[in-house]
């Protein structure tokens, strides 16, 4: 029996710019279609850190060049733009790969809104990296020129950071579910979804934030009653004492162990920590649910228990 799987794609699966993305999605599609070929239902959630930063920077330059003609573009709108152009490449790559293998399944991107709480404390403490890596000097200059919040990102360089509120619910969940149940591969919650909150009546207002795509994928997986959440990243397994002589790779991670390691600071914020927290959230939500953290190219082996880190409720 196939499984219903929600996949959270890391940024390394999409590249950092349009030419890189067009090449990367072909490799990504091959790995995901392997899972579809095995009889699984697949929904894809992806990151957008480089892309949404690029879009907002471009919009800011337009506004600066002619403020009478161009107005500032809200971050929520930039997230929507990134969903469209990433989804366009990803669904086409998926469609082409499936047709090449004779798999009669459609592919569709759903422009997805994700509800957040306007009182979430995250709005007072921006932590989510977006945009390209840069030197500390470049980051400090943007801090002064554009009033950005910046921080060093897990030893990889400096980046702009924005609020990252907790996702509460997927607004278009019924549409996504209908597509899955009619044999479609669905790209949804791109970039963690367009963050919105409810105002008067039925109006949804965009929030100046970016939702972590791993947490959004966990919420999506819960609402779809998925069997498995796969979080794809740049390492084959989750490790403790990462980068040290006594580094230990983990095959299985129970909720009790995960909470102990999180409390001990074993996982880097903005890097492995949200992945473990999201995997834990889904695995604990219902008996029988599991999460897998591994490399894109190892996803099939991970499902078959050959590699990766499985987070399971003991």
By annotation, the residues acting in catalysis are: 11-12, 128, 213, 275
- Report the distance separating Cα 229 and Cα 181, nearest Å: 18
Dihedral angle at the C-alpha atoms of 276, 282, 283, 285, nearest 10 degrees?
140
Burial 184-221 (b: 16+ CB within 10 A, else e): bbbbbbbbbbbbbbeeeeeeeebbebbbbbbbbbbbbb
Q: Give the torsion sign (CA, 141, 143, 148, 152).
A: positive
Query: What letter does residue 277 receive in the DSSP assignment?
Result: H
Q: Report the candidate in 53, 31, 207 with the shortest Cα–Cα distance to residue 118.
A: 207
Angle between the 75-100 and 49-65 helix axes, to the nearest 10 degrees? 130
Count CB neighbours of 125 within 10 A: 11
Could you tell me the sign of the dihedral formed by the alpha carbons of 21, 49, 78, 194, in that order? positive
């Amino acid at each position: 029996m196939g499984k219903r799987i929600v996949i959270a794609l890391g940024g390394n699966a999409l590249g950092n710019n349009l030419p890189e993305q067009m090449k990367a999605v072909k490799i990504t599609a091959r790995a995901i279609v392997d899972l579809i070929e095995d009889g699984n239902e697949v929904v894809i959630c992806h990151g957008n850190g480089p892309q949404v930063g690029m879009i907002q920077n471009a919009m800011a330059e337009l506004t600066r060049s002619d403020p009478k003609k161009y107005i500032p573009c809200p971050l929520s709108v930039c997230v929507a733009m990134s969903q469209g152009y990433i989804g366009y490449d990803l669904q086409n790559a998926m469609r082409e790969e499936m047709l090449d293998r004779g798999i009669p399944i459609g592919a569709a991107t759903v422009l997805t809104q994700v509800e957040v709480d306007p009182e979430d404390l995250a709005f007072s403490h921006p932590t989510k990296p977006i945009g390209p890596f840069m030197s500390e000097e470049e980051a400090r200059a943007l801090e002064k020129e554009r009033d950005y919040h910046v921080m060093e990102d897990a030893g990889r360089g400096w980046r702009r950071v924005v609020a990252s509120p907790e996702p509460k619910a997927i607004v278009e969940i019924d549409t996504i579910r209908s597509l899955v149940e009619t044999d479609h591969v669905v790209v949804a919650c791109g970039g963690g979804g367009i963050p919105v909150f409810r105002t008067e009546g039925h109006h949804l207002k965009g929030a100046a934030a970016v939702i972590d795509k791993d947490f959004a994928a966990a919420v999506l997986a819960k609402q779809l009653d998925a069997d498995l959440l796969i979080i794809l990243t740049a390492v084959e397994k989750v490790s403790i004492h990462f980068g040290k002589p006594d580094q230990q790779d983990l095959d299985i991670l129970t909720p009790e162990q995960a909470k102990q390691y999180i409390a001990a600071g074993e996982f880097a914020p903005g890097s492995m920590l949200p992945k473990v927290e999201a995997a834990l959230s889904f695995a604990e939500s219902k008996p029988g649910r599991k999460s897998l953290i591994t490399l894109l190219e190892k996803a099939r082996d991970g499902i078959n228990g050959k590699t990766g880190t499985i987070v399971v409720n003991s």
